[in-house]
Structure 1
Amino acid sequence: MVKDELEERYAEVWIEGEVSNFRGVAGSGHCYFSLKDAEAQIDIVAFRGVMGSVRFKLEDGLQLLVLGRASLYPQRGRFQIVASLIEPKGAGALQLAFEQLKKKLEAEGLFDPARKKPIPALPQKIGIVTSPTGAAVRDILNVIDRRFANVEILIYPVKVQGEGAKDDISEAIAYLNENHPDLDVLLVGRGGGSIEDLWAFNEETVARAMAASNIPVISCVGHEIDFTIADFVADLRAPTPSAAAELVVKNKADLKRTLDMLFSQLRGSFDSWWESMEQHLDHLKSKLVLLSPKNVLQRQAESLKSLGERVRTAFATQLDQMTEALQGKAAQLEALSPLAVLSRGYAVAWKMPENVLVKSAEQVRKGDSLKIKVSKGEIHAAVTEKSNG
């Protein structure tokens, strides 16, 4: 009777206090602890369903707000609160979870600049881990196409928010490391959103997958003001997906200007050296006029000139060979680029409005709308006839 009276009168109460006697989550998924203040203490029971919604880590000393119902445990005559909602006092649950994980991983050294891998200056193969339908992948591809379309691109499509996103992302990083170790760099990210939308990139499993990657990782999550745990662990953080592409792919015109400048500097250095040698020879001539026969000096001059010509010839030959090799590599990369395939008359089609990539005629029916990506732009069309052959 007392139990019924208590549970009816206090069917919904808020309790505020400091966590104590926390013994972790039981194997059943339930959790038992106490809340206390300066004057009193009360036992709290949180069943598995409630604990599944707690995003932060419970620990002694944490200040909590708990919503629950009063309950009397008759076998021991113990009064307790059965929680239905657990929130941290002050900071929000997600912010607290973020700070707890950040503190934990920082203590393990995962943010240490000394463990971060350098990003290749001229990557030839780039892996992209993001949503296949989001703005991020389009932004990255557009920037790469504009700056240097000769790189090879491998896109691993994943969910970037919601249930299963953290597992998709971490498994993608592990898969690419195991099956495509020749990738020079990985871009991992998505477009902007709320803290809930970006939360997959604040998950411990994603952070540890990035830290374990043998391939250098660039995080590119959200907008410039967004910071996630992934940004701290990655080898390099880019403020946006577009910025990541700008960082990793050099502009072809800029590269050409740099090569021209280096060649000009090298040529200038060689000419200066040659002029210095000629001046030195003239100086030797003036000193040797009274000390050496004329024919000895003449042979030395001829020998030096011959050597200079051979050096010039060897330098020019080596430069031609390097230029030819670079042009060959550029042609190979051009042939491998998926963007170059479009320029040869091929196209990629998506079924609309689902935005589903069409790989077979069996995926569409007469009357379906299609978005067709060609080398220069997009075409929107309707299916009037199809063949499954």
Structure 2
Amino acid sequence: MGAKRQLYSVSDINRKARMVLEGGIGEVWVEGELSRVTIHSSGHWYFTLKDEAAAVSCAMFSRDNAAVGFRPKDGLKVQMLARPSLYEASGRYQLIASEMEEAGKGNLQEQFEKLKAKLRDEGLFDEARKRPLPILPRKIGVVTSPTGAAIRDIINVLTRRFPNIGILLIPAKVQGAGAELGIAKAIRYLNTRNDIDVMIVGRGGGSIEDLWAFNEEVVARAIFESGIPVISAVGHEIDFTIADFVADVRAPTPSAAAELAVREKGDLEDTLSLYDRRLKQSLKTMSQDFRLRLNRAEHSYVFREPATLVKQYRQTVQAMETRMADLLKLDAQAKASRLENANVRMAHLLQSGVRQAHQRVDELGMVMQHQMERKAEHDRQKLQRLGSQLRMLNPLAVLGRGYSLTRKPDGTVVRSADGVEVGEPLVTLLADGKLVSNVTGKE
């Protein structure tokens, strides 16, 4: 009898397989392209992640995908943090994602922000320099791929809105290496023509890598330097590129760009018809008004009896002349009277002033004479005092009391007998004269 076989249920096997998958690999970062994206009403995402050689079913639950900054769509290349698992009910292997970001977006986003900041600081995004779109362009230039859906959408919308509008397509590569140079070259070429009134530059949707040519500096500067207004129409409504910020107008899609570029011909015709009716009505109203005014003028007194009117005006003028002459005469008389009164008042004021001046001069003369007499008396008394003092100080005054003053012939005063020599002449001054003598001896 053989060994007892061990039997497993399908559930057991699937459970063990799930545990092996989840425990043996754990969470890993996986890169691939999204396809068959389904967004469930519960908020969960279900999709397939594929590359050139393989595909795997995936899920991302609402509690995790709420933090993702974009909506998943087919063809979008992503990187996601996921753990392998197995759905036990069907035995289907799948990846359960907890984080997701656009592939390469980290590096590309950093480049995008740096270039955006640089060009903004240089003024390429300034609203003041952006031009309005023409109301009715003659011809519209389009820079895009000749084989993409964008050009078909643009042509369909333009021809529907304005069937005979001129459209000039400048084919350009819109993704991949060197695409930005071709786009810039096409923009510059359109600016060499004189028949383009507005241009549309753009392409359909795609990943950030697909749209990257419109984030290149060479394209931004070509748009900035364009003398023709530029409508940027790159990707879908949620996509923003550097070209959108520099362009005069940003359209969310190529179709929307075509709608912005030209109004519907029917609307323009309706507007012109409305203006035509208004103009005709205005002219009719003005004509009626002028006719009414002319009729009134024709029946007015001026045109019925012009001679009488002229005579009345002449009489009015003559009356005004007479009145003016009277007024001038009265004015002259009034001025003469005022002048005479002024002269009388002036003469009276002058006489009064002269009398007051004479009176003031007399008063000042009396004051001055009194002050001069007081001054003379004061000076006389002072002179007498000084004379008395001078006489008292005069050395000759003592001669009257019996004293004498002896001098040598040269005027030297003899103060001592030692000061003279025998035989030397002397002059003695007395109160009533002089004595001349010679020294005969000294004791």
Instruction: Compute the TM-score of the two structures, normalised by the length of structure 1.
Output: 0.50
- Give the structure, 1 or 2, with the largest relative contact order (CA under 8 Å, sep 6 or more): 1
Whose radius of gyration is greater, 1 or 2? 2
The structure with the largest helix share of the pair is: 2
TM score, norm. by length of structure 2: 0.44
